[in-house]
Amino acid sequence: MKIRLHLLFFMFTFLVSHTGFTQEDYKDTKLVSTIFKALKKQDEKKVLKALPTLADIKHLIPIVSAAQPDYKFPEADAILAEFKMRTIEDFKKASKKGTAFGVVWEDIELKDVRYTSNPDPNVAIERGDFVMECISHDTSFLITMKKSSKIRGTWRLMNTLKFTLL
């Protein structure tokens, strides 16, 4: 009986510590650091590095097509061009809104990063929302990256980039 309790305690301890230590540190992801640096330097071209590559999109098309067989997908180049245009537009809106609220972009600091899983039940790709909590002097704000996806091991910006004042 005592051996069973020790074994049970050991297994419980192992599982709890294993899941706690294997969780991804979202603050150190390439997606978060790229978006943060782009905001800090106000560099539109840098934010484009957070988007999926052409190879990523070509990898995704068959996966998403299997979930939506009736939908006719545009060419990968057209999808990437749309992503670039929409991302630059979102980046400009977030920058303009932040500046209007007194954010000094070159002085921003990253306080925290939160991640909330937001999976698509039809597509077997890890997906979620990233929220960067930042501060610039006395102005606290959030930068939200909705429906970001982990494609071939790398987190990519797949949807909107939004500024929210706290």
Taking residues 122-140, what's their average pLDDT?
Answer: 92
Measured CA to CA, the distance from residue 115 to residue 131 in angstroms comes to: 6
* Fold designation for 26-165: Nuclear Transport Factor 2; Chain: A, (3.10.450)
* pTM score over 0.85: no
The DSSP 8-state label assigned to residue 74 in this structure reads P
pLDDT, one tens digit per residue, over 27-52 is 889 999 999 999 999 999 999 999 99
Taking residues 141-158, what's their average pLDDT?
Answer: 93
The phi, psi pair for 42, rounded to 5°, reads 55, 50
Crossing angle of helices 30-41 and 76-100, in 10° steps, is 50
Q: Which amino acid is at 151?
A: I
Kindly tell me if the per-residue pLDDT of 12 is higher than 50.
Answer: no
Kindly tell me if the per-residue pLDDT of 150 is higher than 50.
Answer: yes
The full set of domain ranges for the chain reads 26-165
